[in-house]
Amino acid sequence: MRVAHFDCFSGISGDMVLGALLDAGVDAAPIRAALDSLGLPITLEAEKVKRCGFEATKATVHAADQEDYRFLPDVEAILARGALTPRQRELATVIFRKVAVAESVAHGMPLERVHFHEVGALDSIADIVGAAVGLDLLGVEQFTSSPVPTGSGTVKCAHGIMPVPTPGTAELLKGVPLAASAVKGELTTPTGAAILTTVATEFTAAPAMTIERIGHGAGTKDFFEQPNILRLWVGTSNAERRMTKDEADTVTVLETNLDDCPAEVVGYCFERLLAAGALDVYAVPIHMKKNRPGVLLSVIAEPGRVAELEAILFRETGTFGVRRTTTVRSKLAREAVTVETPWGPVRAKRGRRDGFEIVTPEYEDCARVAREHGIPLREVYAVVGATNRAGRGA
């Protein structure tokens, strides 16, 4: 399996990701073509530079300064008109939505009212779109990352002097292991954090891989303490048993504790989350602070749907925080089948793995048969199971 690993020993930013991709061999021409198609006054320049004596590629986006803020729909409209593949456009959109959700939490405002400051500037748009195109062209199946140093001290941003990491960056890095750093300044930017948490499925200092090439992306500053470089290792996985796409995938688990949310609201939120594409939604009774009974509401989702599902959780439940965990899910290779029964066809799912097979009837079909024929639901389930064991599943 083709894999890539971000070695973020000096943090990560959008231009560092773009520089590392170019240094690792990704062709700059299609990235420039994608940026040109956005219809914005931006140009991409790549050059070799030195950081503490080590060579790296510095990606620089030249763009005019603009004072107007952009909202998420403005950015999505820009992405929609660009000549990007569906995969590239989706990746760029997810990254921007991650930033929007983080900013909405940090500022305590609805998602649609969040306006981008630095991340909505032309150079940041180019960094994210360029990174999305480059990551797609890299042709790897899985990304991992080292723990992430954020830097220390303070940084000047649109809201004044802020401690490092800024609130938006800290929100984006929830659930990500951080690394200490003596460098005074911002090592990890919101753009870099959003890109990393969108694609990385595991955070480890030493991935099990065979390195084939290494890309070095240079940051803007040249620190005295260390080379300001992002290393991108590209190669193959060393896992003894490689999971196929049908056997494993990456999912994100969203969780929030609720102690002041009516049961009807939780039920309605269930419906909204499932309708928006959640893989599963479940609730567990818990006992919270101040002796309050509560509910742990959990959502299993594909990484690309996290921003939309988080927005539903915030909007519908009024929660003040959502925990996010990215994990690898082992699963059965599955297919839809039809099982013939004495009462007609019943839809089911067949799962297989390592010689093991199971068939699970679809509840809706079984319930329909039970109601129509006046028989117990458990009898329908039993007949479907027996029919499958006899080898008569279609």
Whether 242 maps to a domain, the answer reads: no
Q: Which domain holds residue 116?
A: 2-237
Q: What's the pLDDT tens digit per position in 342-369?
A: 888 888 888 887 777 888 888 888 999 9
**Judgement on whether residues 361 and 262 belong to the same structural domain of the protein:** no
41 found inside a domain: yes
Instruction: Tell me which of 279, 307, 330 is where a domain ends.
Output: 330
Our count of domains for the chain comes to 3
pLDDT confidence of residue 138: 94
3-state secondary structure of 216: strand
In a domain, 243, yes or no: no
Q: Domain for residue 179, yes or no?
A: yes
Q: How confident is the model at residue 389 (pLDDT cuts 50, 70, 90)?
A: low
Q: Is residue 159 part of a domain?
A: yes
Query: CATH code at 380?
Result: 3.10.20.300
Contact 322, 313 (CB under 8 A): yes
355 shares a domain with 285: no
SS3 content of the chain, % helix, strand, coil (to 5): 35, 35, 30
Residue 111 lies in a domain: yes
Stronger pLDDT, 57 or 100, i.e. the higher one: 57
Output phi, psi for 175, to 5 deg.
85, -5
What was the pLDDT predicted at 242?
Answer: 45
More confident residue, 223 or 331: 223
The residue-averaged pLDDT of 163-179 equals 88
> Residue 16: pLDDT above 90?
yes
CA–CA separation, 270 and 282 (whole Å):
8
User: What is the Rg, in whole angstroms, of the alpha carbon atoms belonging to the chain?
Assistant: 24
**Residue ending a domain, choose from 314, 330, 346:** 330
Residues 289 and 337 in one domain: no
Which one has a higher pLDDT value, 159 or 27?
27
Q: What angle do CA 31, 32, 36 make, to 5 degrees?
A: 120
Q: Within this chain, do residues 23 and 131 fall inside the same structural domain, yes or no? A: yes
- How far apart CA 318 and CA 310 sit, in angstroms, is 11
- How far apart CA 301 and CA 82 sit, in angstroms, is 27
Look at residues 218, 237, 256 and tell me which one is the last residue of a structural domain: 237
pLDDT at 250: 79
**341 and 326 share one domain:** no
**Whether residue 142 sits in one domain with residue 273:** no
Reported in sequence order, the residue ranges of 73-199 that DSSP labels E, i.e. its strands, are 115-116, 142-145, 148-149, 151-152, 154-157, 160-163, 178-179, 185-186
**pLDDT tens digits for 112-141?**
665 565 445 788 889 999 999 999 999 898
The reply to whether 70 and 178 lie within a common domain is: yes
- Candidate ranges 24-38, 144-158, 244-258; pick with highest mean pLDDT: 24-38
Distance CA(252)–CA(306), nearest Å, equals 7
Q: What average pLDDT does the segment 5-14 reach?
A: 96
Q: Which structure tokens are listed for 318?
A: 């009024």
User: In the prediction, which pLDDT does 351 show?
Assistant: 84
Whether residue 32 lies inside any domain: the answer is yes
Domain-located, residue 394: no
Question: Distance (Å, rounded) from C-alpha 108 to C-alpha 64?
Answer: 30
Higher pLDDT, 145 or 291: 145
> Are residues 176 and 210 both part of a single domain?
yes
Residue 281: give its domain's CATH number: 3.30.70.1380
- Tell me: do 43 and 121 sit in the same domain: yes
Shared domain for 94 and 171, answered yes or no, is yes
pLDDT at 116: 60
What region, left, alpha or beta, does residue 374 occupy, with left being phi > 0 and alpha being psi -120 to 50 degrees? left
pLDDT of 243 over the 60 cut: no
26-40, 61-75, 140-154, 326-340: segment of lowest average pLDDT? 61-75
Tokens of 182: 């003596």
Whether residue 68 is predicted with pLDDT greater than 70 in this model: the reply is no
Binned at pLDDT 50, 70 and 90, residue 241 comes out as very low
**Predicted local confidence at residue 67, as pLDDT:** 57
- 314-335 b/e (C-beta count within 10 Å ≥ 16 → b): bebbebeebebebeeeeebeee
Q: Are 348 and 307 contained in the same domain?
A: no
Co-location of 16 and 104 in the same domain: yes
